[in-house]
Structure 1
Amino acid sequence: MKFNTYLVIAMAIIGIITGSLAVSLGEIEPAVSAAIILVSVLVLGWGAGARSAQAEIDRLTSIETGRRVQASCLITTRNRLERELEQLLDAKGGVL
């Protein structure tokens, strides 16, 4: 698994909030409940960010694929026109 600085920072903040809440209340149960909620929000945000990033990668990939197809069509057209020009020059004896 790739090391993620933001994930470590987020988990540290959740730990600090949980510890502070446990100390101030004198009970661990509410602090654990808050930690579970915060970790759930972190995981959901992380998943949404990953999905958004994948959607952007897919969009850029489709744009690049379209550009490659367009370039291929232009190259094919250029080659066909060059062949036709050569055929015309051959038919006319080298003079248009």
Structure 2
Amino acid sequence: MKQPQNNVEQGNYSSPSAELTAARLAVIASALTTFADAIATLSALIALDSITASEPQNSSRSDDLQQQLMDMQRQIDDLTKNTLYTIGD
């Protein structure tokens, strides 16, 4: 019977170089994950800054719409009074 000639054929994958390679890959993967988390955090900060910057514009727009609504209501009231005054004559 033929004897296995290397560690792979014997099912022994725990050679020091394989363990070292696995550890190095784990460190690289961890570094990449940390980098990706940093990018995600930066993205969230940019989005938050963008939302915060747009709030005064939204408030101003809301004030403009409120003023337009009040003007329209005043015009409706004036037209209603004029119509009732005209009908009453």
Question: Which TM-score applies when normalising by structure 2?
Answer: 0.55
Structure 1 runs (4+) deviating above 6 angstroms are: 84-87
Q: How does 1:55-74 map onto structure 2 within 5 Å?
A: 55-74=38-57
In structure 1, stretches of 5+ residues that fail to align are 1-20, 91-96
Q: How does 1:1-96 map onto structure 2 within 5 Å?
A: 32-81=15-64, 83=66
In structure 2, stretches of 5+ residues that fail to align are 1-5, 75-89
Q: Which amino acid aligns with 2:59?
A: T
Question: Which TM-score applies when normalising by structure 1?
Answer: 0.51
RMSD over aligned Cα atoms = 3.1
Count of residue correspondences: 65
2:38, 2:55 → 1: CA distance? 26
Point out the structure with max Rg over C-alpha: 2
